[in-house]
Chains A and B, each alone.
Chain A
Amino acid sequence: MVWVNAIVQGILLGGLYALFACGLSLMFGVMRVVNLAHGDFAVLAAYLALAVITGLHVPVLWSALVVAPLFGMVGYLVQRFIIQRSLDISPLTTLLVTFGLSIVIQNALLEGLSANSQSLPSGSLASASFQVSSQLSIGYESVIVFAVAVVVLVGLQVFLSRARLGRQVRAAADDQEAASIVGVNVRHVYGVAAAIAFATVALAGVAFGMYSSFDPAAGPQRLIFAFEAVVIGGVGSLWGTLAGGIILGVAQVLGSQVDASFGVLAGHLVFLVVLAVRPSGLIAARLS
């Protein structure tokens, strides 16, 4: 029963990883941008949520409704005015620019808000759970996060495959120049993709903040999990990202069952095995 419990918790944790990773996957799939500041933006979102919670006295879930749209706008502007300019120069410049953003965010948070670790007060939600059987209880918090992750991924999938703008995103991902030839404003479409990516990373950042404490330097460690989820699942595939997140989550929780310090390592090992055996990921697919 201990193992069943571990697997269930692992799957739920995997939902959070998938939510966190899908923005990374989207930005790479559409713009070929590896956003090294992805984890730092998640931490920034958590700090922003904390400010919203203490400032407006709203519960943590409501803060996400403020932070996510705000981050969407930030994402559009960051793409149009910073990342696009580096894309026009070279892919390597883009990598350096996002690395620079990562350092700027970390140090600005450190300077302004100190190195003290914080956490988001999720109140009664943190300990509330429902009993499935005598040995298996599931926390509401992790179920909500998992549900949000699934809704976001399904919504994103539907948007990309059905909506007019989603079709433009796929076209721009396929062939940027051909997209401009058919009248797509590629820079705007890239901005939209970044806006979606940033809104999802904000949601993930708030969820991380509810699960565990965070400090200004927490971003890069988390970024590794997002990379692992994307690579395990297959770059550019949203279902793959969900599968990758779940596999990573289950590996980590099972690993920590064996030994409390073995959890993160188990995740890394699974990642390495997938990378060695199937480098294209479990679901190698395009954005559709």
Chain B
Amino acid sequence: MAGLTVRYGLLEALTNVSLTLAAGETVAMIGANGAGKSTLLRSIAGLHAPVAGTVRLDGLDITGLPTHRRVASGIVLVPEGRRLFPSLSLEENLLIGATPSRPGRWNVAGVFELFPWMAERRNRPVVYLSGGEQQAVAIGRALMANPRILLVDELSLGLAPAVVRRLYDMLPALLATGMGILLVEQDVTQALRVSDRAHCLLEGRITLSGRPRDLAPADVEAAYFGLAKGPAAGRGQG
């Protein structure tokens, strides 16, 4: 993905953002509310058309491809707020994830193996599930497409920290299957814990990039809040 710029009317949500994602790699995108993180994921998924820049998969330009075709080529989004289908049961929500019929190891049985509690509640409407359970269904639904690239938007939103931790702890199992994961997260600690590389987004621009262990907390704080480096960085409240 190179030089991506996205606008809502006059507002520029992303300015010249570039990043790469390799198979088996987790990249985290951190940043404050309104930094453009969700816009970035939605643009990669094909829900926003950029005014400039390109999105490439294996070197192939897919910038003009509609969302459902991107899913068919293996780019799958776990959207912010889960966006499950209320008139479908748990199992139907998973089954609809298999719409593009991509071959791979994930199917209903595989998802039930990952989340064993789902099997006995398969016929439940999803509205009766807790927030954490719904997030698990959203992940399962995305896995059903056998993604090559999994885009995860705000996994932690509205969930208890213990639940978030449990959800993040299953990421290695997914990475082992060779998919690449791009995470967008407000919970910086969680994001840095699980990722191989991280970028910090501020007002639509990448302000800091690197491997989590190379990133000094003060630098992250400065990049996150947009504070000038130096003495001022210490005053950020986080």
Contact = CB atoms under 8 A, between A and B. Distances in A.
Interface of A: 164, 167-168, 170-171, 173-175, 177-186, 286-288
A183 B87 contact: no
B1 interface: no
Contacts of B141: 182
A237 to B, nearest CB: 11
Contacts of B76: 181, 183
A119 B66 CA distance: 47
Size bracket of the B interface? 20 to 34
Interface of B: 45-47, 66-68, 71-72, 76-77, 79, 83-88, 92, 95-97, 99-100, 141-142, 145
Given A183-B76, A286-B86, 20 more contacts: A167-B96, A170-B88, A171-B85, A171-B96, A174-B87, A174-B88, A178-B79, A178-B83, A180-B71, A181-B45, A181-B77, A181-B79, A182-B71, A183-B68, A183-B71, A183-B97, A183-B99, A183-B145, A184-B68, A287-B87
A182 B68 CA distance: 7
Given A181-B45, A183-B68, A183-B71, A167 B92 contact: yes
Contacts of A287: 87
B85 A185 contact: no
B97 A182 contact: yes
A185 B68 contact: yes
Nearest to A178: B83
28 contacts: A167-B88, A167-B95, A170-B87, A170-B88, A171-B88, A174-B87, A174-B88, A175-B83, A175-B85, A178-B83, A178-B84, A180-B46, A180-B66, A180-B68, A180-B71, A181-B45, A181-B77, A181-B79, A182-B96, A182-B142, A183-B72, A183-B76, A183-B145, A184-B68, A186-B68, A286-B86, A286-B87, A288-B88
A177 B83 contact: yes
A180 B97 CA distance: 10
Contacts of B83: 175, 177-178, 181
Central interface residue in A170, A177, A183, A186, by most chain B CB within 10 Å: A183
A174 B86 CA distance: 7
Contacts of A181: 45, 47, 67, 71, 76-77, 79, 83
Contacts of A179: 85, 96
Contacts of B86: 174, 286
Contacts of B45: 181
